[in-house]
Amino acid sequence: MSDLPFGFGQPDPDDSENSPGMPGDPFAAMFGGAGSADLGAALQRFGQLLSTSSGPVHWQLAHDTARQLVAAQGDPSVSTADRAAVAEAVAIAEVWLDDATTLPSTGATAQAWSRADWVEQTLPLWKSLILPLAERMAEASAKALPQQMPEEMRAMAGPLLGVMGQMSGVMFGGQVGQGLAALAQEVLTSTDVGVPLAPAGTVALVPRNVSDFGAGLDIPPDQVRIYLALRECAHVRLFQHAPWLSSRIEAAVADYARGITVDMAGIEQALGGLDPSRPEAMAELMSSGVFEPPATQEQQAALSRLEHLLALVEGWVDDVTSAAAGGRLPAADALRETMRRRRGSGGPAEHTFENLVGLNLRPRRLRDASALWRALAEHRSIADRDHVWTHPDLLPDATDLDDPTAFATASTDGDWDISTLSDTEPPESDPPATS
């Protein structure tokens, strides 16, 4: 998990030009095709963006930047054959999952998305995850900036603060667009980052990326597609069964955001060395690490909660998918290990997104969580395993991951009683405690 809540972190030098979704001059995409060599056009475009920026994130710029970068990297339309193959894989997955979990099918519609479709369809859900980070950074900046000014200037600082806020929204909008474009080159499904990003009632695969992913695996394409459809449908079933789960994940992100602080002295020093003759200099500065705030203990605790929740989700999906595919897909074990490593470490595009936006949705202790859910199914039943998701207070904590068998056998006298537990959707400020 990145310690860069607002995304102004130091990017991997290997990810700058050759990473998926990151063409040689992302500055040009951010500013409507005006590249670093066209100072006048770039400044004019920047002025237009400032005049339409009214929040901590310029969402229209994020959208436009992502679409332009995706198109620049190539985004063929989804064929009729692709749509049929995805629909068939999802239909098979839903039948197989009925034997592996008691959580019912959602009846969701299967869709095959292009990379541009993924950007369009998931952007509304990204807003709910990213906005708390951006809002807190804007608040922290607005509070810290006047403290750097002489007393006699503070009363006149209103217009300047307004411009700084608009500039921040523009620059972060551009970074969000770059990050989403990078992810669009790699995501396989609508839940590939661990949370459902598709509109309600939809399960989706990205055929171009699925094909690229399977090309180096030496596994028949239909097996790859069905395995990914199993994971996608399992994710969607879980989140529909546990409607409180999405709000808990968003609450952990918001808790992390609340601890953001701004080092205005460091920013002032960096701005003093800015070369105004280079229009890309500001974009470089924003990704140089100068805006990186120190992580507080509260933020680390929020990160632990987020990582733990994601591990429980990913572990359950991993176990259920393995059970559903076992004996049916010859390559199931190989695909399981590949996906475990992929979710645990992330690919180049995922790291690019983390550096630009400061949000990492990779789980910790995925294997331990999967072992816990498997132990629960074996020592009790599949129904009891799935029943744990009925209420957040029933979820295992970090210490339970240390000894899955103990958690699975701790209570054997019937189902857990949720009648004495707190509300199903507890306040966001009181997420489940973990280490």
Predicted pLDDT at 236: 97
201 pLDDT higher than 70? yes
Predicted pLDDT at 110: 97
Give the domain ranges of the chain: 79-112+191-261+296-346+365-435
Between 100 and 46, the more confident residue is: 100
d(CA 178, CA 118): 14
Predicted pLDDT at 278: 58
d(CA 327, CA 246): 32
- pLDDT single digits (tens) 12-26: 333 334 444 344 455
- pLDDT single digits (tens) 105-124: 999 999 999 999 999 999 99
Closest CA to 162 of 177, 149, 148, 146: 146
- 394, 417 Cβ separation under 8 angstroms: no
User: Burial level of 276, CB count in 10 A (0-12/13-18/19+)?
Assistant: exposed
Token pair in block for residue 287:
């990704």
Between 354 and 4, the more confident residue is: 354
Between 28 and 330, the more confident residue is: 330
Predicted pLDDT at 344: 83
- pLDDT single digits (tens) 152-197: 555 555 554 555 556 677 778 888 898 899 999 999 999 998 888 9
* Average of per-residue pLDDT values in the chain: 78
Least trusted range by pLDDT, from 169-173, 214-218, 262-266: 262-266
Predicted pLDDT at 429: 39
Closest CA to 233 of 245, 223, 225, 221: 225
> Does the predicted TM-score (pTM) go above 0.95?
no
- pLDDT single digits (tens) 132-146: 888 877 676 666 555
Closest CA to 1 of 232, 307, 430, 428: 307
Instruction: Find the radius of gyration of the CA atoms of the chain.
Output: 23
41 pLDDT higher than 80? no
- 172, 57 Cβ separation under 8 angstroms: yes
User: Burial level of 53, CB count in 10 A (0-12/13-18/19+)?
Assistant: buried
User: Mean per-residue pLDDT for 300-304?
Assistant: 84
Phi and psi torsions of 188, nearest 5°: -100, -30
- pLDDT single digits (tens) 338-389: 999 998 887 777 776 777 666 778 888 999 999 999 999 999 999 999 999 9
pLDDT band at 320 (very low <50, low <70, confident <90, very high): very high
Predicted pLDDT at 3: 33
HSE on the CB side for 244, CA within 13 Å? 19
